[in-house]
Amino acid sequence: MEVKKRQLVRPDIFFFPESADSPYLLGSSCQACKSVHFPPKNSCPSCFAMETERVALSRRGTVYSYAIVRQTQPGFQAPYILAYVDLPEGIRLLTQLTGVSENKLSIGMDVELVLEPVRHDGDDTEIIGFKFRPL
Amino acid sequence: MMVMIPRLLALNSALYNGRKAMSHGVAVLGVGMTRFGKMPERTPEDLGHEAIRAAIRDAGIDRRKIQAAFVGSVYLPFGIGQRILKDLGLTGIPVINVENSCASGGTAMREAYAWIKAELCDVALALGVESLSRSLSSGMIPLDLDDLAAAMGLVMPAAYALAARRHMEEYGTTPEQFALVTVKSRSNACHNPYAYFHQELSLNEVLASRMIADPITKYQCTVNADGAAAAILGSEKAARQYTARPVSIVASAMGSGKLRDRICALEDTAARIAHEAYEAAGIGPEDIDVCELHDAFSVAQVLYCESLGLCPKGEGGRYTQAGHFDINGEKVAVNTSGGLLSRGHPLGATGIAQLAELVWQLRGEAAGRQVDQCKVALQHNSGGGVFDIQTNACVIQILTH
């Protein structure tokens, strides 16, 4: 399949700093109660305040749990590894693991963020999502 | 055995609730359902009619006594309730269509309960109906890719596989213990004429079936089905008037999951709602004789047995292996009907099929799978799909005879 277009899974959750080649995930931080959420919110679900700011989240986390998906929705290519990854900000996010073989998977392993394709949309568009790979 | 409420307190509370129930109690007057299975040739109207007629016959009432109807489904078109009811002469009354994911049936039933409790009506119909053969083209429930988790590759079995892996790590639960849930489920379903599957499966067959999301194999997933289930609910006054064998709904609790991106805010939604139900009923988990819970996957049965307090946290796998959740096992008979795994899962119909099974158990009519001395029953119906919260809807009800 020839890929003609690349699209981010969601445009508002990534931060690409000019000074570095590593992207970050963006969360929201409430101006009032300081609670951090991901994906980022325009108002605070914790305290109902209207003002939030975007914050770059840690690029490193630990695996809380993982699952090897062998049957999936159209557009995705099984098998792949889903995981919950815990970030130091107290955020647990659902992501995929990459760069690790099935027999090397373990709960508690340290991982870092990478951007990679997660699925195809139609014949020519690749959807880029966030994954984590072992440190 | 974990006890959420001290027994003495539970008994006092039961007496108190018993008095309270004299004025606004709600009872199940009758239940009925179709067999669940693949029936693409049957329309939702046809399925609904069979279930409603069976429930009305079971209740022994005139259909004109029904003052309101609540109809749960997920994929059927708008107005499905009115469409089904019109040819049964059940017209002119309030008809409320309910979508609440896989808990649509449980929600419809709880709405009927709430109307009676609030004295808006005396007798109400709750119907759950679905035809997945007609509504879906493939086997897996399609998820909305605007949901970030789904866009990242989450599918329903994987959500439970993630929970299973963590359970294995924390409590030493084994893939065999999860698979034994299906073995028990198929064995129970053999005695349920309404179940999709009537064939036993061995542990090896379950483990050797195709891997879907490790450790969940094909036979540890529920199966899409078509079918309908109906219940006639009534006030205590109506119950005295129309039936000699009412089943009382002594608690009906419901809630939705909370946002779960922050680790500090995580909770077990089913445990929270179960606690509310036990408190309201003045009954503890140790009093439950039979339970129908929402086991769309084998793993779910293990997890929910713990959430509902039927065994201590972390012991679900070992209790399953020890046969404690078998019919007339040591503890509580869980999913005597075969549950979602073996009765099949026509999404909107499941919640009311669970109720039907419990009513039959409490009345001693569950031939071949009857639990001895069956007096108190617990129902747990759950529906997900919005992955930022643990569950879209969780309905937990406690019934007594």
pLDDT(B9) > 90: no
List of residues 6+ apart from A80 with CB closer than 8 A: A68, A69, A72, A96, B153
Give chain B positions within 8 Å (CB) of A43: none
A102 to chain B: nearest residue by CA? B214
Query: What is residue B322's DSSP assignment?
Result: T
> What value does the mean pLDDT take over residues B283-287?
97
Smallest CA–CA distance, residue B165 to chain A, in Å, is: 6
CB contact under 8 A, A37 and B266: no
**Which amino acid would we find at residue A92?**
R
Question: Which two tokens mark B386?
Answer: 């919005």
- For residue B169, list chain A residues with Cβ-Cβ distance below 8 A: 65, 107
Q: Which helix (H) or strand (E) holds A115?
A: strand A110-121
What is the spatial distance between Cα B385 and Cα B399, in angstroms, rounded to a whole number? 28
Interface test with B, best of A70, A118, A130 (most B CBs within 10 A): A70
Counting one residue from A and one from B, how many pairs have CB atoms under 8 Å apart? 109
Q: Distance between CA B116 and CA A77 in Å, rounded?
A: 50
| Percentage of chain B exceeding pLDDT 70 | 94
ipTM over 0.90: yes
CA distance B399 to B401: 7
Domains of chain B, earliest start first: 25-135+226-239 (3.40.47.10), 148-221+251-400 (3.40.47.10)
Residues 64-123 on A with a CB inside 8 Å of B are 64-73, 75-76, 80, 82-84, 86, 90-96, 107, 118-119
Query: Distance of CA B132 to CAs A73, B228, B380, Å?
Result: 17, 12, 22
For residue A62, report the phi and psi dihedrals to the nearest 5 degrees.
-125, 150
Structure tokens at B320: 């399953």
Please tell me which residue of chain A has the smallest CA distance to B218: A71
Residue B267 CA from chain centroid, whole number: 21
Nearest CA in chain A to B149: A94
pLDDT digits (tens, 9 = 90+) for B214-270: 999 999 999 999 999 999 999 999 999 998 888 999 999 999 999 999 999 899 999
User: Does residue B296 contact residue B152 with C-beta atoms inside 8 Å?
Assistant: no
Q: Which distant-in-sequence residues (6+ apart) come within 8 Å of B41 by Cβ? A: none
Q: Please say if B221 is a catalytic residue.
A: no
Distance between first and last Cα of chain A: 31
Q: For the segment B65-119, what is each residue's pLDDT rounded down to a tens digit?
A: 999 999 999 999 999 999 999 999 999 999 999 999 999 999 999 999 999 999 9
Torsion, Cα B9 B12 B15 B17, to 10 degrees, reads -50
Q: Is the pLDDT of residue A129 over 80?
A: yes
Binning pLDDT at 50, 70 and 90, where does residue B24 land? Answer: confident
- How far away is chain A from the Cα of B369, in angstroms, using its nearest Cα? 34
Picking from B340, B144, B122, the residue whose alpha carbon sits closest to that of residue B235 is: B122
